[in-house]
Amino acid sequence: MPERKEYRDKSWWLGASPYEESPPLSGDLEVDVAVVGGGFTGLNSAYYLKQHDPKLKVAVLESEVIGYGASGRNGGFAMTRLGWNMAYLVWALGVERATPAHRFMLECVRHTRELTEREKMDCDLEYNGLMVLARTPGQMKSLERDLHAYEKLGIKDCEILEGGHFRERLNSAWHIGAFFEPDTAILNPAKLAREYKRVNAAKGVEFYERTPVTRFQPGRPCLLQTPSGRVRAEKVVLAVNAFGTRLGVFKNWYVPMFTYIIMSEPIPERAYQELGWTRREGIEDKRQLVHYLRLTADNRLVFGGRDAPYFYGNATEGRESHAAIFQGLEADLRGMFPMLKDLKITHRWGGPVACTLLFFPSFGYWQGQENVAYAMGYCGHGVALSSSAGKIITDLLYGRAKKYEDLFFVLHRPVYIPPEPLRYALANGIRLSLRAFDTITERNAPR
Ligand SMILES: Cc1cc2nc3c(=O)[nH]c(=O)nc-3n(C[C@H](O)[C@H](O)[C@H](O)COP(=O)(O)OP(=O)(O)OC[C@H]3O[C@@H](n4cnc5c(N)ncnc54)[C@H](O)[C@@H]3O)c2cc1C
């Protein structure tokens, strides 16, 4: 039997409330659709498969527990971001292709709220918008380029905040202004994953946890081997994202880059007042290797990003802790918010995100088999996108691929990434260039 991995320490979200695991698969199973992976993509797929036809026999096979991967560890930002930033999206695709893509992401964010409200999913969702902070005049210019790119796509409700307008939204010692976008939600990701399980189970979806698929053979039917039983499935959803190489899928399409988070105790009332973050937006900054920060329902500060290393050989396990990045994050937090100098950091964690070379996701048929659909490569922006990933996957599996002709990332494979050692050099080379860019551009910034 494979080693049983502890999940409670993979993030504060996963350990904060009790969770009852479903038993592993024991014996053979025949289903209409087998979903491999119990993160947001797999859970949303199961949801839409049942919407398509409530009589379908759908089973989710998860190697650890629901939300074990990125879905139970992320920052919980449901945002419209696709690719590096809006200026990049328009530059890379042109206005004509960027417009439907951004509109789709906007729908994904709104849909995250609608879906959780409709299904009464308790996940602490707050729809407070996103602020992207600038620390230097150069970063302010870059925010203006983003605003201009949004306007080119017909999006008119974003704005630049400067001077007093910015100060009244956040008391940061480092930043001079921000870009504000109203359509972003923050939520508790582990709660969302577990609520998906509850809603799906009520619709008859079967869940097998601690059930890794160790071998996958496409065909009609597809055969999936697990340590304690074999599954025959008419159709399969591959929802393993950054963990794909374990199963031998998506190998040259992505690299798992690690991103790290520190979390504080609840901010004491006086410091919270001084922080002045009254609208509780999700926040990122305008660095290349961004910081991301937000408040939880009980006012803990979640503070992540800053760096994103790649570990040789596509490692996805055993790298959840990184002392230097945790220290750097803590120093940045105290620098930005001197009023939080005594705030205790209580939790630290990390996880892999699937990054493609051009920083765009990919949906399609695995090896051209129209009964095997996949979604992958969200590049750290999968919370909103996954709320509709299952809809796309269901449409692909049931003959409705044409609906997505306008979406450049559907039925479109990512650019090839070479094997090791070139892969290591490429991934960390890009990362170090971005780090150098941030260091140089922020050398005269307030600190
Ligand atoms: C620290 C961190 C912060 C992030 N912050 C944000 C954010 O604020 N906003 C945002 O939009 N995105 C964020 N992301 C990215 C986001 O979490 C992901 O894009 C999203 O959760 C991907 O969902 P998924 O279901 O595709 O993959 P995952 O959640 O990774 O799910 C894949 C699942 O497949 C299982 N699995 C793998 N192999 C097998 C197998 N062989 N058999 C059975 N099961 C298998 C894994 O155990 C895992 O549970 C962050 C990610 C991390 C790590």
Contacts of residue 273, defined as CB under 8 A and 6 or more positions apart, other chains included, come to: none
Q: How far is the CA of 138 from the centre of ligand 1 (A)?
A: 33
Q: Which of 213, 51, 178, 29 lies closest to 118 in space, CA to CA?
A: 51
What's the CA gap between 408 and 436, in Å, rounded?
Answer: 31
Q: How far is the CA of 315 from the centre of ligand 1 (A)?
A: 14
Q: How confident is the model at residue 2 (pLDDT cuts 50, 70, 90)?
A: low
Q: Residues with beta carbon inside 6 Å of ligand 1?
A: 36-42, 61-64, 68-71, 73-77, 79, 212-213, 239-243, 246-247, 259, 261, 304, 350-353, 378, 380-384, 386
Contacts of residue 162, defined as CB under 8 A and 6 or more positions apart, other chains included, come to: 140, 176, 177
The string of pLDDT tens digits covering residues 105-121 is 999 999 999 999 999 99
Contacts of residue 254, defined as CB under 8 A and 6 or more positions apart, other chains included, come to: 242, 244, 354, 355, 356, 376, 377, 414, 417
- Region 51-73: what's the mean pLDDT? 98
- Region 215-233: what's the mean pLDDT? 97
- Per-chain mean pLDDT for the chain: 96
pTM above 0.75, yes or no: yes
Of residues 447 and 438, the one with the higher pLDDT is 438
User: Which atom of ligand 1 has the smallest separation from the CA of 39?
Assistant: 25
Mutate-to-test residue for ligand 1 from 230, 281, 378, highest number of ligand atoms within 8 A of CB: 378
pLDDT of residue 322 exceeding 70: yes
Domains of the chain by start residue, with CATH: 8-74+190-250+359-416 (3.50.50.60), 130-176+255-354+419-447 (3.30.9.10)
Residue whose CA lies nearest to ligand 1 atom number 41: 213
User: Which atom of ligand 1 has the smallest separation from the CA of 379?
Assistant: 19
Q: How far is CA 280 from each of CA 109, 184, 293, rounded to the nearest angstrom?
A: 17, 11, 10
Mutate-to-test residue for ligand 1 from 4, 63, 225, 379, highest number of ligand atoms within 8 A of CB: 63
